[in-house]
Structures are given as structure tokens and as C-alpha cells.
Amino acid sequence: MTDLYARHRAVLPEWLALYYRDPLELTHGEGRHVWDAEGRRYLDFFGGILTTMTAHALPEVTKAVAEQAGRIIHSSTLYLNRPMVELAERVASLSGIPEARVFFTTSGTEANDAALLLATTYRKGANQILALRNSYHGRSFSTVGITGNSAWSPTGLSPLQTLYVHGGIRGRGPYEALPDAEFIEACVADLRDVLAQTRAASVAALIAEPVQGVGGFTAPPDGLLAAFREVLREHGILWISDEVQTGWGRTGEHFWGWQAHAGNGPPDLLTFAKGIGNGMSIGGVVAGPEVMNCLDANSISTFGGSPVTMAAGLANLAYLIEHDLQGNARRVGGLLIERLRAATAGLPVVREVRGRGLMIGVELAEPDGSPSGRAAGLALEYAREEGLLVGKGGREGNALRIAPPLSLSIAEAEEGAEMLEAALQRVQAEVS
Ligand code: PLP
């Protein structure tokens, strides 16, 4: 055990998730690579849990942060703040929500908390929330309380009553083999059934990740959320799209995950975080004026909209759009999925390679076909030994999560696929 690990164990909570048998200390990064304290270099296929959206140590972002820090680090939302207004204008116009207003927070958790506060207030105290099974929405009291994935929801307590509906993950039951159109029909029937068993007037909103992140990068068929929307509208229930992982072009085809479901327009509320600051803590919620302005109280966020983070967001977003990293995610992500499917076709431990853009899940199974968290754990270790960092998730902890910075090159995608293939071959030899 390294000295730092021993000190970590002594003062940090045991439940704080930490990867690897010998946990890794990262000291610096550049582009798509990071280095550990021993000087070993890794190709980063997890991007700090999707926070390093463009690239590590992107000079444009570093310069913007240094310049802003040299002027004023913090002023609070009680004063006018130019970078905050500029980033809000940018995010509002990108959001697709008419006359959008943006409230900045410092994390995805707080963004979802704010969305729940707005939705329940707008719906006059309605205290029920619809969420998808296998979902994840944060780690505050309210967001843990509505999270559907029990591995990430350590408490059964919730200030809101949550009703879980199908649609996030097919699982291994009767929904698994349904063709897309029938799956959508079954999920809509399930939603109607759940609503029929409660008082719809008490339901404030449906919150959904367009692609489940922690849940293992599983996406419902395009159009599902639009079909849900039709039903929600009949009851005046709001739709919150949790874009904490899916925003900013990560899914390749679209700038936001909700756009794969567009049908009848944008969600009522959209939450974001992770990649916008390229690692600086920015989260937020976007909504039209009617919903956003329903709170009847003074409110500030001490650190939300902090000028240094806003400067990072502005520089990062400008780079992302100027260099069409969404298009890059589509092209390189498409190639990477194909390459991984071909490389793992002969490995029964790999049950499925799925994903959109640079959000790719690799689901692992035991020889009897059951979900294998053990194989995912081994794959993480072996990939690291090959020089590749990936993430882990899924309902049974049995999916690898691949989400590199969106500037990934084709050569790096090839190199990473080879390293992952080598790691999975070792896993295969061990689990069979
Ligand atoms: N929502 C989703 C979909 C997430 O994946 C996460 C974090 O992984 C959150 C919310 C919470 O964000 P944060 O960790 O920034 O609080």
C-alpha cells in the first residue's frame, strides 16, 4: 500500500468509490493521456468520468482560467458577473428550450436537486417523481432518493415518492428481446399503468437520462422519451432530461441526448454538468421562464456561476464547437464501436458492445451468460496494465464504460481498442 493510499484510508470514507487494487495517483495530463506518480503514461478512455470533454490541459481553457483567476476568482451571484451571463447566453441558445433561463450550480447532483425543486414547486407541491429503473441522478438526499440503481442508492429514504418505470435498460426479462417499436409500446403501456395507480396531479415530473451513464451506457430506442412525453402532457407532468453525461455532443449524432427523441420538441427542464468546464465544477439547470421563475423566494448559489469556472466553460465550449468535436465523436466513436465489436466477436465473456458516439458500453458475462461484475473488475485491472484507463458501471457492475475526451483521434481509438482486446483476452482465459 502506498503512503498516500494509507493516508486516504485513514481520513476518507470507506464508501468513497476508488478504482484498482493498487489505487492510481494521477499527476498530470495532456491531450488524451494522463501520467501516474511513477511516470507511467495511460491512454484515458474515461476522461475523469466524462469531465475532460475536449482534452487534458487544453491550452485555451488553462489560459482562460489563469487570466480570470488573476482578475477575480469569485464574486457570488449577488453581483453582476460577465462570464456567467455570457455562458448562460451560450447554453440557453444551445439548449433548444424557448426563452431559456439558466441557473448555475457546481455539480450534476445540485442541478438535479434544483430541477426537482422547480418541478415540485411549479406543480404546486406535487411530491411524486417518475424515474427510470437503473437510473442515477446524484448523491444528495433527494437525488439518491430517486435513483433507481440500488448500487448507487444506499438509502431507501427519499423526500419524494418515486415511481419507477421501464425504459432505461432492457434487462434480461420479457423486455429484452422486443423489437424497438414493441419495446416503446410496452414502456408506454407501463407508464400509463403506473399513472393509473396513482394520482397524476401529485406527480411533478419524469426525470430520465437519455443514455444511462452509471447504469452501463444503455440507450433506449430513439423516440421513447417523445412517446412518454405525449402521455405526460395529458396530465401536465414535466419532463426533466438529465444530460449530465449525454450533453455537449458526447453521443455524436446529437448535441443533447434528448434530440434522439425530439418528436415533439425539447424537455421542460434540462440538467447539465460534467464536461462543460473540462474538469472545472459547473452544473446547471435550464428551463423556460414559466418554470424557472416559479420560485417565490430570494435565492443565491454561493459558488454556482463562479467566474473562473464560467471562463473555463466559455473557452471549452468555444473550442468544442469550433473544432466540431461532436462530429469527431460520431466518426471516431462509430469506428471504435465497430473495431471493438470485431475484436471481441470471438470472446464469449463479451456479451454486448453498445453505445452512441464516444459513450460506449462493453457488457461482460460469466460462461453461463449471467452478468459478470468479476470480469469487469479484472478487465479494469488488465486494461490498466496495458496502459489504458476505462470506467465500470451497469446494473450488476458488469459493464465497462468507455468515454474518452471528444478529441480522440482515429489512431488513438485503434491503439485503445488493441489494448482493450488484449485485456479482455486475459479476462476470457480467467473466467472460462
Ligand atoms: N446525473 C447523472 C446522469 C450522472 O451521471 C451524475 C454523475 O455521475 C450525476 C447526475 C451527478 O453529478 P455530480 O457527480 O456532478 O454531482
316 φψ region: left (φ > 0), alpha (ψ -120 to 50), beta (else): alpha
Ligand 1: residue whose CA is nearest its atom 7:
138
> What pLDDT, on the 0 to 100 scale, is given for residue 154?
66
Strands 238-242 and 269-272, sheet pairing:
parallel
Question: Cβ(160)–Cβ(127) under 8 Å?
Answer: yes
The CA–CA distances, whole Å, from 163 to 109, 123, 142 equal 19, 17, 14
> What pLDDT, on the 0 to 100 scale, is given for residue 259?
97
Other C-beta atoms closer than 10 Å to the C-beta of 182 total 12
Q: Can you tell me which atom of ligand 1 is nearest the CA of 138?
A: 11
Helix (H, G, I), strand (E, B) or coil at 1: coil
Residue-by-residue pLDDT tens, the chain, 432 positions: 889 999 999 999 998 989 999 999 999 999 999 999 999 999 999 999 999 999 999 999 999 999 999 999 998 888 999 999 999 999 999 999 999 999 999 999 999 999 999 999 999 989 999 999 999 999 988 898 888 887 777 666 788 999 999 998 887 778 888 999 999 999 999 999 999 999 999 999 999 999 999 999 999 999 999 999 999 999 999 999 999 999 999 999 999 999 999 877 999 999 999 999 999 999 999 999 999 999 887 788 899 999 999 999 999 999 999 999 999 999 999 999 999 999 999 999 999 999 999 999 999 999 999 999 999 999 999 999 999 999 999 999 999 999 999 999 999 999 999 999 999 999 999 998
- Give, for ligand 1, the residue of 46, 52, 109, 144 to mutate: max count of ligand atoms closer than 8 Å to Cβ: 109
Ligand 1: residue whose CA is nearest its atom 14:
108
Rg (CA), the chain: 21
Report which residue type is found at 25: E
Centroid of ligand 1 to alpha carbon of 170 (angstroms): 21
The answer to whether the CB of 113 is under 6 A from ligand 1 is no
Question: Cβ(287)–Cβ(97) under 8 Å?
Answer: yes
Does the CA dihedral 190-192-198-204 come out positive or negative?
Answer: positive
What span, in angstroms and rounded, lies between the C-alpha atoms of 171 and 158? 25
Q: Can you tell me which atom of ligand 1 is nearest the CA of 109?
A: 16
The answer to whether the CB of 214 is under 6 A from ligand 1 is yes
The answer to whether the CB of 108 is under 6 A from ligand 1 is yes
Exposed/middle/buried for residue 370 (C-beta within 10 Å: 0-12, 13-18, 19+):
exposed
The answer to whether the CB of 282 is under 6 A from ligand 1 is no
186 φψ region: left (φ > 0), alpha (ψ -120 to 50), beta (else): alpha
The residue with cell 402532457 is 233
The ipTM (two decimal places) reads 0.99
What span, in angstroms and rounded, lies between the C-alpha atoms of 306 and 323? 26
Which residue stretches of 236-324 are H helix? Answer: 289-292, 307-322
